Amino acid sequence: MIDVIDFIPSKDLREALRESDRAFTDMEKATIIANLELTPSRTYGLLQQLRDETTDKNLREQIQAHLYFEDRWIDLPNLYEQGDIVRVLGSVAGYIDEAYDWAVVDADRPGWDERSSRIRSWLRDIEAGVEKPEGSIGDCSDMQITLEFPCKDGTFEHDHINPMFIERWEGSAEGDEAELMQMAAWAVRGECSLWWTSRVLKKSILKGLAGEA
């Protein structure tokens, strides 16, 4: 049987799922596999294996018909607090030019938990035959964590990342970068002004330019 937890890039999430003895349905396994950004042949092979192993006739038919699962919501925990320093993994990482190799979590965990609880309730109602609520009942956008990326040009970039591609930053920072990291964490938590954070970022840029001269 496929153990999809082994394929999740984030060490933090893998450990949390193991500790909680989390078991995924075959439909959830298919959704995770489709969102792992594996090579097309690897994705196809895993879905083919899942198709052969599952007892879910509907899922088997969907896989056979080459349906995709990228837009489905899946119940994953948010392991981070607002202001935590993290890094992004896999092919998702490094696409923002001139960004540091870390980012700051700008997501409200209580809000995440409340939204997840509401979606679970909706899904239970649907399974029980209750009329579907108006609008979306949850998709992939509801399981993404908001991150702020300080960039070396003095700006910040903002994006939403699946928790499968996030883990705690374990690097070391010194001097201006360490100060910027602390100020950025305080800023997203509302504990200091963006003006101070921007000032620290610009000071770091000026020092870098002076060193290149």
- Give the pLDDT confidence score for residue 171 in this predicted structure: 81
Answer whether residue 177 is part of any domain. no
0.75 cut: is pTM over it? no
The answer for residues whose C-beta is within 8 angstroms of residue 28's C-beta and 6 or more apart is: 4, 74, 75
Q: Are 4 and 32 in contact (CB under 8 A)?
A: yes
| Tally of CB atoms within 10 A around 58 | 10
| Tally of CB atoms within 10 A around 127 | 8
Answer whether residue 11 is part of any domain. yes
Answer whether residue 37 is part of any domain. yes
Cα separation, 188 vs 23, in Å, equals 34
Answer whether residue 59 is part of any domain. yes
Give, for all 213 residues of the chain, the pLDDT tens digit. 889 999 999 999 999 999 999 999 999 999 898 888 776 567 778 888 998 999 989 888 888 776 555 557 788 889 999 999 999 887 666 656 667 788 999 988 888 888 888 888 887 877 777 776 665 567 667 778 999 888 777 777 888 888 888 999 988 878 777 878 887 888 888 877 666 666 666 666 555 534 443
State the residue range of the domain holding 32.
7-64
Answer whether residue 205 is part of any domain. no
Answer whether residue 30 is part of any domain. yes
Q: How many domains does the chain have?
A: 1
Answer whether residue 20 is part of any domain. yes
User: Would you say the C-alpha torsion 180, 202, 100, 172 has a positive or negative sign?
Assistant: negative
Answer whether residue 33 is part of any domain. yes
